[in-house]
Structure formats: C-alpha cells, structure tokens
Amino acid sequence: MEQTLLQDLNAERQARRAVIRLTALDGSDDRLVREGETIEGPLASIVEAAFRRGTSRIEEVYGTSYFLNVHVPPPRIVVIGAVHISQALAPMAAIAGYDLTIIDPRTAFATPERFEGTALFADWPEDVLKDAPLDRYTALVAVTHDPKIDDYPIQAALKAGCFYVGALGSRKTHGKRLERLGEAGVSEDVAARIKAPIGLDIGAASPGEIAVAILGEIIESLRRRPLVGPSGSTGG
C-alpha cells in the first residue's frame, strides 16, 4: 500500500466522504474510488453496489480477486440542547465510538465547564449547520423542548436523511410538533421517521438513564438500517 494512498484515504474519511479502496489481490491494481465517481469497465457496477451496500468484500472479475474495502464516514451524533441528558450522553457516546457535537444558542446552558472535552457551539443550529450540512451518517438528537431551537434542525435532519432523528417530548408535545412540521411542508411519511418520545422504551427516568435509552436507540438505528448486509457477528 502506497503511503500517499493511505493519506488520501484518511483525508476523505476526515472530510466525511464515503470512499472505497479497491485492491487487486494479485497486486495489479490498488486505488481509491470516491462516491459518485464514475469508473470504467466491469468494476463499475460492483463498485456502485458496494457503496449502496456499505459493506466490504472480495469480488471476482475476469479471474482476478478484488478486495473492496468500503469506508463510510464515522458515525456522528449532533445534539441540539446543552441539557442534563446531553451531559450524560457525551461521555457515553465517546465510549461507544461515536463523535458527538452539542449545539445550543442559550449561552447559560452551553458552557465549556458543563461540557469539558466536548465539541460545543453556543449558536443557533441554523448558523452552525449552514456550512456543514448533516449527512446520512449523522444522528440528530433534539432535546431543548423549545420549538424555536429544535424545529429547524429536525427538518434539516429529515431532509439530509440522517440515520436517526430523535426528539424529546411527550406524545402531546410531539403531536403539536407534527402539526408544525406539516404546516412547514414536511410529509407525514417523512415526519414518521422521528423517534418520539425519544429513546428505547426501558422506563428510563433520570437524565443518565434517558441518555442510555437514546444511545441504545441510535445504535439500533445504525446497525439495523436498511440496505446494509450482514456484518460480523460476535464471538471469538
């Protein structure tokens, strides 16, 4: 493996772009293919299918074995609301291997003292997300309870196809939210993707327990999302 190829691969991953490393196991070919890039010949459809599937495997083409290692961006959680639940969720997400960012325009909540070591933006979601859009590999967790803050990023997450969109609030609160989203032009089918009340139904009561329920639901959504083939099972 050339060192420049590794550098390019890591740069693509840092920039959150899906990329495949295509390696002929007889040593005749080794290159990166970025998502959306067109390539020639019989490998084209195989590469396209691998991006759709999101999993790595060996493929035989005209007697040559190619290993396609599919690198999708690392899973990321964007939390709207610098609240107690977020304080508990931040370290849990890090342990589980998820990057986490918190956005809350209320400067009294979004203080570095409350969120040491966590990426924190004391700004409106509209401003933070403007230049760095959400993507399919991001989970959006809206927990401020304030429609003025939560509604925009929820709509943005549904539009971006985030693998998880969860919103805090009772069924009554969520009912009102669905009315507002409907008025804003979000179809019922799309709005139905919102997980509300947020989190797995495990009777969570404290902020820490609710954070566990949310993280469990995020993991379930990522690992059981459609179009992903079987991954390795546990054992060993």
The residues binding another protein (CB under 8 A) are 1-3, 6-7, 9-10, 13-16, 23, 25, 27, 55-58, 67, 69-71, 74-76, 78, 94, 97-99, 101, 110-112, 119-123, 127-129, 131-132, 231-236
Is the CB of 55 or the CB of 173 nearer to another protein? Answer: 55
Is the CB of 111 or the CB of 173 nearer to another protein? Answer: 111
Is the CB of 4 or the CB of 38 nearer to another protein? Answer: 4
Could you tell me the smallest distance in angstroms from the CB atom of residue 174 to another protein? 26
Q: Report yes or no: 210 and 204 within 8 Å, Cβ to Cβ.
A: yes
Could you tell me the smallest distance in angstroms from the CB atom of residue 97 to another protein? 6
* Three-class SS state of 212: helix
Could you tell me the smallest distance in angstroms from the CB atom of residue 190 to another protein? 23
List all residues 6 or more positions away from 84 whose beta carbon is below 8 Å from its beta carbon. Answer: 207
HSE, side-chain direction, 13 A CA sphere, residue 46 = 20
Is the CB of 96 or the CB of 190 nearer to another protein? Answer: 96
Could you tell me the smallest distance in angstroms from the CB atom of residue 57 to another protein? 6
What is the signed CA dihedral for 3, 24, 67, 136, rounded to 10 degrees? Answer: 60
195 has which bridge partners?
Answer: 166
Name which of 88, 74, 107 is nearest 206 in CA terms: 88
Is the CB of 11 or the CB of 202 nearer to another protein? Answer: 11
Could you tell me the smallest distance in angstroms from the CB atom of residue 161 to another protein? 17
Name which of 216, 209, 210, 174 is nearest 194 in CA terms: 174
Sign of the alpha-carbon torsion through 236, 9, 128, 135? negative
